[in-house]
Amino acid sequence: MVSAALSAAKHYKAAQLAPANLRNIASKSGLLIDGIEVPSKEDAEYLSCTAVEIRDNIVDASKSKWTAQRVMSAFIRAAIRSQEHTNCLTEVMFIDALETAKKLDEDFQQDGTVVGRLHGVPISLKDLIHVKGLDASIGRSAAVTLPTADAGSAADHLSEHDALIVSIFRGEGGIPFCKTNVPQTMLSFEGSNPVFGATRNPYNPMATPGGSSSGEAALLASDGSPLGVGTDIGGSCRIPAAFSGCYGLKPVSGRMPSLGLVSPNEGFESIKTTPGPMGRSPSDLELVCRVVFDACVERRTSRVLTGVMPLPYRDVTLPEKLKLGYYLTDNLCTTSPACQRAVLEAVRAMEKRGHECVLVDAPDAVQNIKLFASITSADGYATLLASIGTDPKESALYLTTLGPSVPGPLRWLGLSLASLFLGDSKFLSIAAESRPKTISELQQVQARRQRYANATRSRYFANEASGGLDLDAIICPTMPIPAPTIGSAGTVSAIAAATIAWNIVDSSVGCMPVTFVDPEKDALPKDWSAQCQGSSFLESQIYGVEKAGKRLSGLYDAKAMAGQPVGIQIVGAQWEEEKVIEIMKAVDVALGFRGFGPGEFLKSHPSS
């Protein structure tokens, strides 16, 4: 039964986000000559520019049709359209955003004032990022501010301050204009919670956009925002970027400030959440990094906040010939034909440009997910699950949180029986790690993680004299499969090991779209079962099972997924965000036009 509090929260938020209501509010603002609800003939031009181009055009006095107000109006209309099709929004700041844009235009017209490197650029934010005067409910009904009898009374849950990263954006002339949806507890690669419901993939409404930066990816990929910020603790920027067809970056923890971010698991520091830029081109990611990295130095953030590196943005010149490693699959779940093809297309494109690409062994995915499960379950997920209060638990959390809820003797018996019937030692070794731990046990796991991370970094990135491969970066799958159907993540959450690997190691990692699923090229070959060498349980869920010479369907279906984006990871060493972005640019150029980037979604989906 849905609680009264949850029901009230859902109805209140739904009323706030109803597209007709948004249009009505905006059109009554009196800030725009044409009104917000009527598309402008210039909209397509505004929506087809990178964030850098938007800023440069707004501050170019010779381009009179480019104003912060007109750009903001276009993206508000686009965000409304994205909300209608993907259910991506949680909070809107349209009136405030239009007022800010108007002030920027007035000051610029009066004396040429340019506030900063984000002057007039609309910015969307993942829901966990505090914005003064708004909720940061992350889909929890208890954290939704409801209207009170005393309309003027202060609300308990409204954010009192902007997050530091929002303050930095405002200081550079950026305009936050909406917040976006997340999965319950944000420990899932889907995008559903009891308050806002499920966010849908812009390319396929039956598929998830990924998570946990779910709404950000859906909004950006459908041209509803030019620039956004998500977070990443296990792939939360990269998985949505790959599933939805946009660009994302996971910086090393400490490169971007986390002050003012809501956590459902307060005090958890073993694997750090890091904010990460998301956009529609590598230059969008670069712009955010330049602004935030430099601001953290200028504001002397490291003197106030623990763990923030005082390292400004450093311009990087790539060598003429890069040495790139690549791998196609790992030892936990065999990568699908679509996702292997994406890696190979990027590799072949870079080889044609004269770069060296060498096949390398993948990191140990089983070890990575065991470490992640062991660390995150140390308190039995008690803190994490307490955060949802009386809300019903989403299905995506079922298998992840099952282990600690089973008493020790029963867990041991269950694992023993499962081992007997499943014969899957890999999956069961992961399940065995998901349990409460003593402080001593947790310290041992953390020490194991550090040894593993150091060894992995040395293997790939140390110079040859030190026994390493001396790679500039690694090209690899983001996930074993493209975006699966909504509601399917519950039993296969472990496949996020593909991204979790680089949170365990704490590398600088980018994600970018390469291609779309092709129903013929990406169909499973007849000998697919012979190629599968990972967890039999996970692979049966992903690819189905063969019976009497026929394959019973699994989550991967190239025909059903036809036209969905497929992305790759570009993995660099620690503190090499700038280099990763430059390599992403190089791969982007090498691959050429392929239907991604600013304005491309609306060209191919004019009715969306």
- Indicate which residue of 222, 236, 244, 283 is catalytic: 236
| DSSP 8-state code for residue 172 | T
Hey, what amino acid is at 348?
A: R
Q: How far apart are CA 480 and CA 568, in angstroms?
A: 10
Q: Is 73 annotated for ligand binding?
A: no
| DSSP 8-state code for residue 361 | P
Residue with tokens 């304005």: 599
With the C-alpha atoms ordered 151, 156, 161, 165, is the resulting torsion angle positive or negative? negative
What is the DSSP annotation of 543-604?
Answer: H-EEETTEEEP-S--TTTTTT-EEEEEEE--TT-HHHHHHHHHHHHHHH--SS-STTHHHHH
Q: Is 479 annotated for ligand binding?
A: no
Residue with tokens 């991204």: 499
Cβ-based neighbour number of residue 392 at 10 Å: 12
Q: Is 212 annotated for ligand binding?
A: yes
Structure-token pair, residue 134: 């708004």
Identify whether 283 is a catalytic site residue: no
Identify whether 126 is a catalytic site residue: yes
**Helix boundaries (H) for 353-438:** 365-376, 382-386, 398-405, 408-422, 425-433
b (16+ CB within 10 A) / e for 209-237: bbbbbbbbbbbbbbbbbbbbbbbbbbbbb
- Indicate which residue of 73, 82, 124, 126 is catalytic: 126
Question: E strands along 409-492, which residues?
Answer: 473-477
- Please name which of 418, 538, 407, 527 lies closest in space to residue 484, comparing C-alpha atoms: 538
- Indicate which residue of 124, 137, 212, 213 is catalytic: 212
* φ, ψ at 600 (rounded to 5°): -70, -35
Q: Is 235 annotated for ligand binding?
A: yes
Q: Is 116 annotated for ligand binding?
A: no
Identify whether 212 is a catalytic site residue: yes
* Non-local CB neighbours of 382 within 8 Å, separated by 6+ positions: none
Binding site for substrate: residue ranges?
186, 212, 233-236
Binding site: residue ranges?
186, 212, 233-236
Catalytically active residues are: 126, 212, 236
